[in-house]
Amino acid sequence: MFRRKLTALDYHNPAGFNCKDETEFRNFIVWLEDQKIRHYKIEERGNLRNIHSNDWPKFFEKYLRDVNCPFKIQDRQEAIDWLLGLAVRLEYGDNAEKYKDSAPDKNTDNAAKNAEPLINLDVTNPDFKAGVMALANLLQIQRHDDYLVMLKAIRILVQERLTQDAVAKANQIKEGLPVALGEHILGFDTGDAVLNEAAQILRLLHIEELRELQTKINEAIVAVQAIIADPKTDHRLGKVGR
């Protein structure tokens, strides 16, 4: 997941980095701050360097706040990815002359890029990832390792539920149809006519809720299929486009 950025930053083991190993993770954070980000002064890095301290998570949480990381300590993978993005940007800023000749050709075919707006997005940008994650949390959309997949899910939800027409339709007053309770068999007898009628009404309301739930399930299935069926999306490779 982090291999390309780790390689770009000359990390000693980009292919074998395991963020779930607590010792390796803490050493990595120290390396990242000491060698690349350098947000703290040298004398201020003592707490972060003390990786065997029981209070290290507290110091790491403070570090995330100090560098304005939008993710919390619990969001380890997202926080690492954001910190790596920050380090890459700082690395480029320190060596702009070295990398300026590697800039992409400005005369590339813009018409092809404009055919798919998502191609123009920098998916490695920490701000982009933070924005997608914030939208996904706001709209209660399931997280996915591929931020473009989440963005497409957000687009589908917005198109189907949050457009002006969709909101207007949802706000329309629905007039109920009269129901003849006598035509619906309750299936049991409480011994009280009033309770029987109340039970019939509750059963009909429950059936209506089940129908609405099934409709939402069907909409969710359609939305997922729309993402998976995209011929330009290869989830096995974790990338979009050819």
pLDDT bracket for residue 61 (50, 70, 90): very high
User: Are residues 141 and 162 located together in one domain of the fold?
Assistant: yes
- 170-225 pLDDT, tens digit per residue, is 666 555 566 666 666 667 777 777 777 777 778 777 777 888 888 888 777 777 76
User: Are residues 70 and 156 located together in one domain of the fold?
Assistant: no
pLDDT, residue 127, reads: 77
pLDDT, residue 187, reads: 72
Q: Tell whether 106 is covered by a domain.
A: no
User: Are residues 217 and 189 located together in one domain of the fold?
Assistant: yes
User: Are residues 10 and 77 located together in one domain of the fold?
Assistant: yes
User: Are residues 132 and 214 located together in one domain of the fold?
Assistant: no
Task: Confirm if 151 and 142 have CB atoms less than 8 A apart.
Answer: no
Q: Tell whether 115 is covered by a domain.
A: no
- 106-143 pLDDT, tens digit per residue, is 444 454 444 445 545 666 777 778 888 888 887 777 77
Domain count, the chain: 3
User: Are residues 30 and 75 located together in one domain of the fold?
Assistant: yes
- Residue type at position 145: D
Who wins on pLDDT, 81 or 147? 81
Q: How many CA atoms lie within 13 A of 182 on its CB side?
A: 0
Instruction: Concatenate the DSSP letters of all residues of 91-115 into one string.
Output: HHHHTHHHHGGGPPPTTS-HHHHHH
User: Are residues 95 and 3 located together in one domain of the fold?
Assistant: yes
Task: Confirm if 199 and 186 have CB atoms less than 8 A apart.
Answer: yes
Query: Tokens standing for 67?
Result: 């560098």
- Sign of CA pseudo-dihedral 25, 40, 124, 75: positive
* Residue 212 lies in domain: 181-230
pLDDT bracket for residue 92 (50, 70, 90): confident
* Cα–Cα distance, 162 to 158 (Å, whole number): 5
